[in-house]
Structure 1
Amino acid sequence: MSRVFGEVAALYDEVRPGYPDELLEALTAYHGGVPASVADLGAGTGKGTELLLRLGVPVTAVEPDARMAEILARKFPAAEVVNTAFEQWSPPPGGVGLIGSATAWHWMDPATRCRRVHEALVPRGTLAIFHNRHGYAEPPQQQVIDGIMQAVDPAQTVDDRPVDWARADLEHSGLFTGTEVHEWHRHPVFSKAEYLSLVRTFSTYRQHSPEDQQLVMTNLGAAIDSWGGTLRMDIHTVLVLGRATT
């Protein structure tokens, strides 16, 4: 499933929201300044890489899907793009000062991801796990959209994980200390076309048959038309920070 986004790599790059500038401020404050080097794991087309490059230090972007990595390399020539899975990546000798993972931590092997990152970091290096939760500003609209998605997959549920689920992962590993959680909300207005394009990049949509996908598109489009043709979203960005134990 982590490779399914490559099928719509260009669309993903076009419509997926990026991350707020405040995230970079929180990250550098936690780290105690600018790290000497950065790695971005599961970099995709570079939504997180773009932010991390602003640190002005060497950035290695690790992405397993060649179609995503191609866009990433074209957009951000300053980054060293490594087209491989995190589990096959060889960190540089001596480790990396900061490792970021933007909307990718949940795709990595839960049994080994904390240990592998700990081994890749310098002593007391920083791990920054961040992602966007795509919600809706109006609860009744949220309920309608959830119902449309669940109509083609009754087993599908809304993401009900705690916002700090990654912090629990780090703390449970015993390999990270001083964890922090930061959150931001943005409320952009999407046109019907923009929102339907966004949905086409969701794994919960892409895993279904073409027939079910078309049904979702039809019903979502009708719902948005009934709301005046636009939809105000709640883009909830969550940043989890941890410091590697020595």
Structure 2
Amino acid sequence: MDVFGPVADLYETTRPGYPPEIADEIVAYHGGTPASVVEIGAGTGKATEVLARIDAPLTCVEPDAKMATLLASRFPEAEIQRSTFEEWSPPAGGAGVLACAMAWHWLDPATRNSRARQALAPGGTLAVFGHRYDYADADQRDAVQAVLHAIDPTVAERPADWFHRDIVEQGQFDDVHAVVLRRHLRLDKERYLGLIRTFGPYLSRPPEQQRRGLTALGRLVDDFGGSVVLDLRTTLVLGRAGRRDGAR
């Protein structure tokens, strides 16, 4: 996840935060305030803002040095551990809540569900959430997709419910269900192009492709009247860890 270090400041200023209701949903599902919360891939703290509302001891695991430094400056009360999820050692007895926002796809797909379950205390709660960026205006959506496809025909999005399906299909958690929250978000050209510059698919492209994409999208926003309206869909997937194998 260290691809985001060079744009950590931009990430913090342009990425939208999460609805505060997520904290309430986690506490209600867990059955009260958990003994501890661990956030995997915390980045600059966009989701940490919500998880801190749970008012439980909070540990944030983040591998990128620049993002971890920014995270620590924003949340001095949290314990920051610089590590990947795969190299991180869970606390003795397990975490009460293990959360992961917009980072589940960066974790090893072969082990992320089993590692998450083993990191939780028996009966602990998994909370995976993230945004799906769409457009309130179908014409804007079609125009943006056409531009991106012209620059790189291989561009493709994961299904909106992909991490819900992943968690269900792996069968590591009980009582899995999803909560979906939606809101419209208007962005001017500068904020919109800044947001684009923080996306993994953009950062993974060669510089020339990045420049072409930003130029073309900037012209589109001008054609739209100087702004776009995002249809921001936030999905929260909750699951419960059963007793570990061998437990009595």
1:169-216 residue CA offsets vs partner (Å, 9 max, x unmatched): 222222200011000111111000110000000111111121111111
Read off the aligned partner of 1:89 and give its amino acid letter.
W
What residue is the counterpart of 2:129 in the other structure? Answer: 130
Query: Once superposed, what is the RMSD of the aligned Cα atoms?
Result: 1.0
Do structure 1's residue 241 and structure 2's residue 238 form an aligned pair? Answer: yes
1:3-24 residue CA offsets vs partner (Å, 9 max, x unmatched): 2111201100110011001211
1:70-113 residue CA offsets vs partner (Å, 9 max, x unmatched): 11011110110001101111111111100000100111001111
Do structure 1's residue 33 and structure 2's residue 37 form an aligned pair? Answer: no
What residue is the counterpart of 1:88 in the other structure? Answer: 87
What residue is the counterpart of 2:47 in the other structure? Answer: 48
Which of 170, 179, 184 is equivalent to 1:182? 179
1:125-152 residue CA offsets vs partner (Å, 9 max, x unmatched): 0000000111110111111111111222
Read off the aligned partner of 1:97 and give its amino acid letter.
G
Which of 164, 172, 178 is equivalent to 2:169? 172
SS in 1 for 2:147: helix
- The CA distance in 1 between the partners of 2:158 and 2:89, in whole Å, is 34
Read off the aligned partner of 1:62 and give its amino acid letter.
V
Contact 2:136 2:230 in 1 (8 A): yes
Structure 2 residue runs without a partner (length 5+): 244-248
What residue is the counterpart of 2:154 in the other structure? Answer: 155
- Percent same amino acid at aligned positions? 47
- The CA distance in 1 between the partners of 2:88 and 2:75, in whole Å, is 20
| 1:55 CA displacement | 1.2
SS in 2 for 1:20: coil
- The CA distance in 2 between the partners of 1:3 and 1:149, in whole Å, is 24
SS in 2 for 1:73: helix
Do structure 1's residue 197 and structure 2's residue 186 form an aligned pair? Answer: no
What residue is the counterpart of 1:232 in the other structure? Answer: 229
What residue is the counterpart of 1:110 in the other structure? Answer: 109
- The CA distance in 1 between the partners of 2:209 and 2:16, in whole Å, is 25
Structure 1 residue runs without a partner (length 5+): none
SS in 2 for 1:187: strand
- The CA distance in 2 between the partners of 1:155 and 1:84, in whole Å, is 31
| 1:167 CA displacement | 2.6
Q: Taking structure 1 as reference, are residues 162 and 193 closer, same or farther at Cα in structure 2, changes over 3 Å only? A: closer
| 1:162 CA displacement | 4.1
* Stretches of 4+ aligned residues off by more than 6 angstroms: none
- The CA distance in 1 between the partners of 2:150 and 2:71, in whole Å, is 35
TM-score (norm. length: structure 2): 0.95
Read off the aligned partner of 2:141 and give its amino acid letter.
Q
TM-score (norm. length: structure 1): 0.96
Read off the aligned partner of 2:97 and give its amino acid letter.
L
Q: Alignment length, in residue pairs? A: 243
- The CA distance in 1 between the partners of 2:158 and 2:173, in whole Å, is 24
- The CA distance in 1 between the partners of 2:145 and 2:67, in whole Å, is 28
| 1:124 CA displacement | 1.1
| 1:33 CA displacement | 1.1
What residue is the counterpart of 2:246 in the other structure? Answer: none
